[in-house]
Amino acid sequence: MSERGKGLSRQEMCDRLAMEFEDGWIVNLGIGIPTLCSNFDFGENEITFHAENGVIGYGPLTAAGEEDLHLVNAGGQHVTLTKRAAIVDHADSFGIIRAGRIDVTVLGAYEVAENGDFANWKMAGQKGGGIGGAMDLASCAKHVFIAMEHQTRSGRPRLVERCAIPVTARGVVDLVVTDLGLFAITPQGMMLKEIAPGVGVEEVTAKTGCRLLIPREVPPVKRVG
């Protein structure tokens, strides 16, 4: 639970998405919040984490003081290696992506639209910058999950009717987790599937910038244990 006493912490957000990973999947984790997915305990399931910089088959983030300075994920965070790990060329890493071998990519975003569009490479008013590897991942991964805070620091919604900033890819998002709950993109629109502890449906709808499909009963977000 977050420090506010309600909602989900960033690790809990990523734990919930990690519960959706299936045995044998190859999973790419984007920079920022999504990297916490590798901390989840998958039990007997074999999940292969893929990073664009060529680290394939890494494990949890490294504890403080135990870092290997030469071993980082695509976000520059120090990680551990599993017994099945491999270090490959950057071009080979993108070859895995472009060949359609990534089962799911978990990315951060500035905005997600109700139709599954998302924007994660350029903030409003920002000059310069480039779309980077997210373009390849969004186009080639079999599933796209998003992990992000529900609102900006100024209180603007990140779940919106239409993206107001340049879109990374259109209509590709399957699931979104925020500190307020889990949301699914359906043919009818964005659905609130599960709600975070201590949060009411009215609060979620008030902080969301698009119409939400609300089931008669919304279960709590699944938690570890």
Which residue, chain included where needed, has tokens 């109700």? 114
pLDDT reported for residue 130: 73
CA distances, 158 to each of 146, 169, 170 (Å):
11, 16, 16
> What is the CATH classification number for the domain harbouring 95?
3.40.1080.10
pLDDT reported for residue 132: 78
- Beta carbons of 107 and 131 less than 8 angstroms apart: no
108 DSSP 8-state letter: -
Beta bridge partners of 55: 87
pLDDT reported for residue 6: 87
4 within domain boundaries: no
30 within domain boundaries: yes
pLDDT reported for residue 64: 87
The residue segments making up the domain with residue 145 are 10-213
pLDDT reported for residue 185: 98
Tokens of 1: 């639970």
Average pLDDT per block of 10 residues along the chain, 225 residues long: 76 98 96 93 95 92 88 88 92 96 97 97 74 89 98 96 95 98 97 97 98 97 88
Q: What is the pTM of this model?
A: 0.94
Count of domains forming the chain = 1
225 within domain boundaries: no
Please identify every residue annotated as catalytic.
Answer: 52
- Beta carbons of 35 and 61 less than 8 angstroms apart: yes
1 within domain boundaries: no
2 within domain boundaries: no
5 within domain boundaries: no
199 within domain boundaries: yes
- Beta carbons of 89 and 54 less than 8 angstroms apart: yes
Distance CA 142, CA 17 (A): 15
